[in-house]
């Protein structure tokens, strides 16, 4: 049965941009080419994604005018999927960890506010199974695609639908948007993650070759190792290198990447990076704001006293009311951390009010 109700309006808006503005192929700066809108149902709500897509403009680059989509897009949802990856992870966890039936999972999703029909739950379960079945080494399509592409920008995402649940780890290529490996893990230590990265690395080492060549290379490598022949080191023909890593920068991920891919640049998701870097400033700013607010707490009684007089046409009381509302709006107008420092802003506003008051006093008002 298809969905009978229309999908609810988007409740969240997110704009995603490409983090790596240099073309992974030729290194030239890419240009913003067009925007792409997508709506995805996630556990947090229906998200309207606004995606800024970039293209390489170097006409001698093999990826000339081919799109680079925001790296983070694949963390939200798989290509062309209507439901978020977090929903897929949840459905998998409910089915395999908690052994729930499809109707039970359906009820669970409805209780979380998702607009979904039972048939879709079956589809989501299929997506989960497919995701975990991805084997780079066995997929000819993936091998050929990545072989042509010649490099991979690896993204590591850990999706944990509920606290205490296992984490669905998805390792994907940001250039093609393809999932390279997905595993559901109960623990996500540095060791666990490094093992996943190693697995992808091993598969990528044989990607650029046909299956026969890959086997031959494997055999030759074995023979070489057995003989202890020289020249076994270095990059083998057909290896598709990982040229960059993108993640949200959890400590275990950072350490695992540093261990498994020591030479590869690792970019943290800018949102998380900014949030982490801004935290100490945010804390200080919040404290400053609290202290400032304490000093203007007595504004209400003054305002009330002036209101009656102002209504009677007292010009002085009207001016006092104006100052009161300036202070009120200075207090209530909250900026968004970490870029807006509302404590500092409050200080500036109160400063302006007090300067103005001082001027009035000087004039003998
Ligand atoms: Zn290029």
Quick: pLDDT tens for 6-49. Answer: 667 899 999 999 988 889 889 899 999 999 999 999 999 999 99
Question: Which residues lie closer than 8 Å to 38 by C-beta, 6 or more apart?
Answer: 48, 49, 51, 73, 77
Distance 61 CA to ligand 1 centre (A): 5
For residue 238, the surrounding DSSP H or E stretch is: none
Supply the Cα-derived Rg of the chain in whole angstroms.
28
Confidence class of residue 233 from pLDDT cuts 50, 70 and 90?
Answer: very low
Average pLDDT, the chain: 84
First-to-last alpha carbon distance for the chain, in angstroms, is 75
**Percent over 90 (pLDDT), the chain:** 43
Per-residue model confidence (pLDDT) at position 296: 80
Q: Is the pLDDT of residue 272 over 80?
A: no
CB atoms within 10 A of CB 237: 8
Q: Is the pLDDT of residue 109 over 50?
A: yes
Distance, CA 55 to ligand 1 centroid (Å)? 8
Burial of 110 (0-12, 13-18, 19+ CB in 10 A): middle
User: Cα(235) to centroid of ligand 1, in Å?
Assistant: 23
Q: Per-residue pLDDT averaged across 105-122, rounded? A: 95
Span from the CA of 10 to the centroid of ligand 1 (angstroms): 35
pLDDT in tens, 275-288: 667 777 878 888 88
pLDDT at 230: 38
Neighbours of 259 (CB within 10 A): 14
Reported as a pLDDT band with limits 50, 70 and 90, residue 333 is: low
* 54: three-class secondary structure by DSSP: strand
Tell me if 53 sits within 8 A of 272, measured CB to CB.
Answer: no
Q: What is the pLDDT of residue 216?
A: 53
Pairing of strands 266-268, 242-247: parallel
pLDDT bucket at 319, cuts 50 / 70 / 90: confident
> What's the rounded Cα separation, in Å, for the pair 349 and 360?
17
Ligand 1 center to residue 18 CA distance, Å?
14
Which helix (H) or strand (E) is 100 found in, with range?
none
Ligand 1 center–CA 32 separation, angstroms: 13
Phi, psi of 157 (to 5 degrees): -125, 135
* Segment 63-83, tens digit of pLDDT: 899 999 999 999 999 988 999
With a pLDDT cut of 70, the percent of the chain lying above it is 85
pTM over 0.95: no
pLDDT for residue 2: 56
- Cβ-based neighbours of 317, under 8 Å, separated by 6 or more: 306, 307, 309, 310
* CA of 35 relative to ligand 1 center, distance in Å: 19
């Amino acid at each position: 049965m298809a969905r009978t109700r229309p999908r609810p309006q988007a409740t969240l808006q997110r704009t995603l941009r490409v983090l790596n503005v240099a073309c992974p192929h030729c290194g030239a700066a890419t240009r913003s080419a067009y925007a792409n809108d997508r709506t995805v149902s996630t556990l947090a709500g229906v998200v309207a994604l606004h995606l800024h897509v970039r293209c390489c403009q170097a006409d001698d680059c093999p990826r000339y005018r081919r799109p680079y989509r925001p790296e983070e897009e694949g963390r939200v949802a798989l290509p062309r999927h209507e439901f978020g990856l977090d929903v897929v992870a949840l459905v998998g966890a409910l089915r395999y960890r908690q052994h729930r039936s499809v109707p039970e999972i359906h009820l669970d999703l409805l209780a979380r506010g998702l607009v979904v029909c039972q048939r879709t739950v079956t589809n989501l379960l299929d997506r989960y199974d497919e995701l975990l079945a991805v084997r780079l080494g066995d997929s000819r399509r993936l091998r050929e695609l990545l072989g042509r592409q010649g490099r991979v920008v690896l993204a590591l995402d850990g999706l944990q639908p509920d606290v205490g649940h296992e984490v669905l780890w998805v390792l994907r290529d940001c250039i093609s948007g393809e999932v390279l490996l997905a595993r559901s893990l109960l623990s996500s230590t540095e060791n666990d993650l490094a093992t996943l990265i190693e697995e992808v690395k091993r598969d990528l080492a044989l990607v650029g070759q046909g299956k026969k060549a890959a086997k031959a290379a494997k055999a030759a490598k074995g023979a070489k190792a057995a003989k202890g022949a020289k020249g076994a080191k270095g990059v083998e023909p057909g290896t598709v290198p990982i040229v960059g890593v993108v993640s949200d920068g959890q400590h275990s991920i950072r350490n695992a990447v540093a261990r498994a891919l020591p030479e590869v640049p690792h970019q943290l998701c800018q949102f998380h990076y900014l949030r982490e870097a801004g935290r100490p400033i945010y804390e200080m700013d919040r404290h400053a704001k609290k202290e400032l607010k304490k000093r203007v707490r007595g504004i209400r009684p003054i305002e009330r006293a002036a209101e009656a007089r102002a209504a009677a046409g007292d010009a002085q009381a009207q001016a006092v009311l104006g100052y009161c509302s300036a202070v009120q709006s200075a207090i209530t107008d909250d900026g968004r951390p970490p870029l807006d420092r509302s404590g500092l802003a409050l200080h500036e506003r109160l400063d302006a009010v007090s300067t103005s008051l001082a001027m009035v006093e000087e004039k003998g008002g």
